[in-house]
Amino acid sequence: MGRILMLGAVVLMAIAHSARAVDDRQACVASVAAVRARAEAMPQGDLSRRFAENDLDTALAEMAAGDVDECRELVARAIHTIRVRPYQLHPGEVLDGHGPATPD
Amino acid sequence: MPSFRLPLLLTSVASVPFGLAGPVAAQDWVPAKPFARNSPYVAGDMHNHTTCTDGTVATSYLLNRALGSGTTNGIPNFNLDWFTHGNHGGSGNRDCRFSDTSANLPGNTTTYWTDTLGQTIQDVTITALKGDVPNPPPPRAAMYRWQSIREVEYPIIIAKSKQFKKVAIEGLESIVPGHEHSDTAVINGQFPVAGVGNADRMSEFEFRFDRADTDTLGPVDASNNPVWTGKSFDNNGTAGHAKAVQGVTWLQANAPLTAYYVPTHSERAGPFSPTASAGYNIEHFRDFNNAGPTVAFGIESPGHFAESNHSYTAASSGGATYGGGGLYTAKVGGLWDGMLGEGRNFFIFISSDWHQRGIFGARDRASTADFFPGEYTRLYVPNQSAFRAQSVLDGMRSGNSFAVNGQLINQNFAFTASANGVTRTMGQTLEVRPGDTVTVEMRMVVPASNNSPYSFSNPLLKQVGVFQPIDKPALDHVDLITGDITGVIAPTDAHYAMPNTTETVYNPSARIAETFNKNNSTATPLPNGNLRMEFTTTMVAGSAPFYVRARGTNIPPATPNVTDSQGNPLADTNIDNVVCDDPACPAHLPIIDGTRRVDFDVEAWSNLWFYANPIFIRPAGQPKLLVETNADLAASLVKTLSAAN
């Protein structure tokens, strides 16, 4: 009887944990969507937009891997990037990733 | 000094002491890497990610880049000697036999487990997502990591190990109850003497002790009964820490020579919280080392070396990184010195924490986030005539290891202390008499160039009138750091738990005892363009035990925004003040007040450090240090386990 009660308690704790995790994940997905809409309002070639969108993509990957804290931090960083726009290309400047000279 | 002394010395000190090797494990496909190549140490990485969790590339692609040599379609590989896959615990909804669309690899688009069920890909067939409930809910249900560790990653890693004829291990970056993360590996079963291996013990550890693994079920037997019972869900605060200690205890009981537990980026989540999952204080590392004397023997510095501030925020312990290292590592008299001041076997390791290249693709050489394993950071352990997975663990446990960023030095390294005809190296203890002269020697080779894609003048050095191409770094100086050993602090001692602040001094005796630079060392150009540097100094042994450790850098003392007048690294956030004004400065650097500033990969390649683990010196007749008794324990376990087998 005691074993059944203990097992039940573990399952209830796990269910509570899972329910909280689902809520956190849904909140993360919603905030990513909201910030992404702001990023997409920026010009297509804007370098700060590229940084922000990368952070939002990573936030979703973190969320899917269960790291909701990391998701929140990346969303906050994307908001900062959209607001401050610290990454800009000067006229005529090209982003160079030092990658392969020709795409495969 | 005759040049033939270098390989002789290196050969003698790099070997793990006889008797410390763990159980035999067959990896006959891995040939020995001969000393003839001057490889007293071999380079590896133990912390890296794929699309199985929050990374961007496939498992096979990661190993191709880390273990491959030369180039593939013009893309450089990084030719590591050994590799441990340290992916997060928890779950992941992407199929890590494919890279993410964001990696920009031809033919790869983000693929989910639900897209590929029942298909055989890379000789791996997944027919079902196991565990209690799909997590998160469909349509993109995730695979719990206990399943992907043993059913996906492990077989791919063994296949790649055979392909490259190099050691590859299935490990884990555990998400620790009560804390942040810890690099872990359990190699039990992975390399059987005969037959097919498995990563079941690694998988079981993840299921039982990873706080992100919310599964209540785990694998089941033929009657559908759980195989791994008794899992606790006390995952936060003080109760979470107790569960973490239980995890270390489990490793010590089940894998005392075949596991490690190394907390990583251990400052990032700030001080410990008794009610949440946050960072680590010194007492937690003491708890781990007490519970796992042969498995919990150190911490790892941050990783994420191309990311702005290396992923540390103002809320981290120390508020930033320092020369790319965390405060616990970088501060003289700080947490590391506190642990060494007890005589503990507590060593520093560094790895890549590879996830992605930020706004760039996986084939680009620029990065605003991480570097591939071996591209920037290399963790060196001793070479052996038959280097095996066990050699990685034995080398790490021994403390005879060092870690290097940006290829500032290479594998040809020796750091020794000698007295009365006896020589000891990192992790070992030299027994002396009070008044004895201890001779400390260091020999290293600075490569002619590194993997940096940039060749403009290092903007940090430019501030002090030094014009040094970023891709051709020079070693400016090496600090020998000493500290007194005053004995193990008991858990009941009032000083066992200490405040965790940037200002906390854990070992007030720690100091920079001597600094070596071009003025007091010998530099010998080598035919291949590399530079051999060597220096020797003496210390007089007193009546108390002490240790000597080392760090080196390309940055002179008193470099504005980078080092203080003693040569200590300043908070890396100060580097935001340094302008990158060379016309070749890349366009992805941030613009602050109208000027481009040093950040991301440019900062990483500009600010290089290495850390060498300590040598302990103890007066004869005094009780053995904990580092010695724990090494003795490992040696006795070898005998016990060998007899049992």
Residues of B in Cβ contact (< 8 Å) with A13: 233
Is the Cβ pair A97, B364 closer than 8 Å?
A: yes
Nearest beta carbon to residue A96 from set B356, B357, B366 = B366
Helix-strand-coil percent breakdown of chain B, rounded to 5? 25, 25, 55
In angstroms, how far is CA B614 from the centroid of its own chain? 16
Give the dihedral sign, CA B193/B195/B199/B205: negative
Q: Best interface-test mutation with A: which of B133, B309, B359, B470 has the largest number of A CBs within 10 A? A: B359
Domain that holds residue B262: 5-644
How many CB pairs below 8 A link A and B? Answer: 112
pLDDT score, position B28 = 75
Are B352 and B372 contacting, i.e. CB atoms less than 8 angstroms apart? yes
Residue A14 lies in a domain: no
Nearest beta carbon to residue A98 from set B55, B231, B365 = B365
pLDDT at B22 over 60: no
Nearest beta carbon to residue B359 from set A11, A14, A50 = A50
Chain A nearest C-alpha distance from B368 (Å): 9
Q: Which residues contact B440 (CB under 8 A, 6 or more apart)?
A: B416, B417, B480, B536, B537, B538, B539, B548, B615
Are B418 and B441 contacting, i.e. CB atoms less than 8 angstroms apart? yes
CB of A2 within 8 Å of a chain B CB? The answer is: no
Q: Which two tokens stand for residue B400?
A: 């005879």
CA dist B176 and B239 (Å) reads: 12
Is the Cβ pair B140, A64 closer than 8 Å?
A: yes
Are B302 and B310 contacting, i.e. CB atoms less than 8 angstroms apart? yes
In this structure, the strands spanning B546-553 and B591-592 are unpaired
pLDDT at B408 over 80: yes
Q: Which residue has the tokens 């040569």?
A: B567
Residue A2 lies in a domain: no
Nearest beta carbon to residue B591 from set A61, A88, A96 = A88
pLDDT at B25 over 70: no
CB atoms within 10 A of CB B514: 18
Q: Which two tokens stand for residue A59?
A: 């936030």
Q: Which two tokens stand for residue B103?
A: 């990696």
B154-174 confidence digits (pLDDT tens): 999 999 999 999 999 999 999
| Nearest-by-CA chain A residue for B145 | A65
DSSP bridge partners of B430: B617
Is the Cβ pair B233, A13 closer than 8 Å?
A: yes
| Nearest-by-CA chain A residue for B88 | A65
pLDDT at B18 over 50: no
Question: Whole-model pTM?
Answer: 0.94
CB of A46 within 8 Å of a chain B CB? The answer is: no
Q: Which two tokens stand for residue B298?
A: 């150190």
pLDDT score, position A2 = 47
Chain A nearest C-alpha distance from B28 (Å): 35
CB of A61 within 8 Å of a chain B CB? The answer is: yes
Nearest beta carbon to residue B587 from set A21, A67, A89 = A89
| Nearest-by-CA chain B residue for A47 | B588
| Nearest-by-CA chain B residue for A60 | B54
Give the pLDDT band (50/70/90) at residue A101.
low
Nearest beta carbon to residue A21 from set B214, B216, B587 = B214
Q: Which residue has the tokens 């401050």?
A: A84
Residue A56 lies in a domain: yes
Longest CA span, chain B: 74
φ, ψ of residue B384 to 5 degrees: the values are -140, 160
Chain A nearest C-alpha distance from B119 (Å): 22
B33-66 confidence digits (pLDDT tens): 655 456 799 999 999 999 999 999 999 999 999 9
Residue A59 lies in a domain: yes
SS (H, E, C) B346-367: CEEECCCCECCCCCCCCCCCCC
CA dist A102 and A97 (Å) reads: 12
Residue A83 lies in a domain: yes
Residues of B in Cβ contact (< 8 Å) with A3: none
| Nearest-by-CA chain B residue for A104 | B106
CB of A4 within 8 Å of a chain B CB? The answer is: no
φ, ψ of residue B71 to 5 degrees: the values are -125, 155
Rg (CA), chain B: 23
Chain A nearest C-alpha distance from B421 (Å): 52
Nearest beta carbon to residue B75 from set A67, A86, A100 = A100
User: DSSP labels for B468-519?
Assistant: -BTTS----EEEEEEEE---PPPTTSTTSS----TT--S-TT-EEEEEEETT
Q: Best interface-test mutation with B: which of A54, A72, A89, A90 has the largest number of B CBs within 10 A? A: A54
Residues of B in Cβ contact (< 8 Å) with A67: 54, 88, 90, 175, 212
Is the Cβ pair A87, B588 closer than 8 Å?
A: yes
Q: Which residues contact B531 (CB under 8 A, 6 or more apart)?
A: B445, B446, B448, B474, B475, B523, B524, B525
pLDDT at A4 over 50: no
CA dist A54 and A58 (Å) reads: 6
Chain A nearest C-alpha distance from B7 (Å): 37
Are B410 and B509 contacting, i.e. CB atoms less than 8 angstroms apart? no
B439-492 confidence digits (pLDDT tens): 999 999 999 999 999 999 999 999 999 999 999 999 999 999 999 999 999 999
| Nearest-by-CA chain B residue for A103 | B106
Chain A nearest C-alpha distance from B337 (Å): 30
* Distance (Å) of CA A92 to CA A88, A96, B454: 11, 12, 20
Mean of pLDDT values over B358-375: 98
CB of A33 within 8 Å of a chain B CB? The answer is: no
Mean residue pLDDT across chain B: 93
Do you know the residue count of chain A? 104
Residue A101 lies in a domain: no
Residue A48 lies in a domain: yes
Q: Which residues contact B442 (CB under 8 A, 6 or more apart)?
A: B414, B415, B416, B478, B480, B516, B534, B535, B550, B612
3-state secondary structure of B208: helix
A6-57 confidence digits (pLDDT tens): 445 544 455 455 556 667 788 889 999 999 999 999 999 999 999 999 999 9
Is the Cβ pair B586, A96 closer than 8 Å?
A: yes
Nearest beta carbon to residue A101 from set B74, B212, B231 = B74
Is the Cβ pair A103, B132 closer than 8 Å?
A: no
The closest alpha carbon to A32, from A53, A50, A48, A46, belongs to A53
Point out the least confidently predicted range of B127-131, B192-196, B397-401.
Answer: B192-196
Point out the least confidently predicted range of B14-28, B91-105, B303-317.
Answer: B14-28
Mean of pLDDT values over B196-211: 96
CB of A90 within 8 Å of a chain B CB? The answer is: yes
Alpha helices in B272-407 (DSSP H): 282-291, 327-330, 335-340, 389-398
Domain that holds residue A51: 32-90
Number of domains in chain B: 1
Structure-derived torsion over alpha carbons of residues B296, B302, B303, B304, reported in degrees to the nearest 10:
150
pLDDT score, position B2 = 31
pLDDT score, position B222 = 96
B577-613 confidence digits (pLDDT tens): 999 999 999 999 999 999 999 999 999 999 999 999 9
Q: Which H helix or E strand runs over A52?
A: helix A47-64
pLDDT at A102 over 50: no
Residues of A in Cβ contact (< 8 Å) with B93: 64
Give the pLDDT band (50/70/90) at residue B30.
confident
Number of domains in chain A: 1
Residue A19 lies in a domain: no
Is the Cβ pair A67, B73 closer than 8 Å?
A: no
Alpha helices in B93-199 (DSSP H): 113-116, 145-148, 154-164
* Distance (Å) of CA B544 to CA B333, B406, B617, B618: 18, 37, 9, 7
Chain B nearest C-alpha distance from A18 (Å): 7
CB burial string B430-453: b at 16+ within 10 A, e below: bbbeeebebebbbbbbbbeebbbb
